[in-house]
Amino acid sequence: MEEKIARAICKADGINPEWAGSVDPDCTYDAWENYIPHARAALSSLKNPTDDMIDSVYGKNDVLRERDIVERDFKIMIQAAEEGK
């Protein structure tokens, strides 16, 4: 997920993710790899879902809504993405 986000940010900056990551002719990495810190920051900002995000799962008035479970599962998924899963 980290790579996917880094590539998207790189593209949004108008840079081809496959280009070399530096003007150095001996560069061994791609441009998208420069965006890994940005991708990590984006993932980190998603750790705590908003109320609207949680409400979108079951709706605001649904009696079956298990807010704690939804929030826990969301955090587990973000943590897995941060771990490269």
Of the pLDDT bands very low, low, confident and very high (cuts 50, 70, 90), residue 46 is confident
Q: For the chain, which residues make up each domain, given as ranges?
A: 1-45, 49-85
pTM of the model: 0.73
pLDDT at 26 over 80: yes
* Tens of pLDDT, residues 55-67: 777 666 555 557 7
Residue with tokens 């560069």: 27
Helices 67-82, 51-58: inter-axial angle, 10-degree rounding: 110
Assign 20 to helix, strand or coil. strand
Take residue 63 and report the two structure tokens written for it. Answer: 């009696």
- DSSP state, 34? G
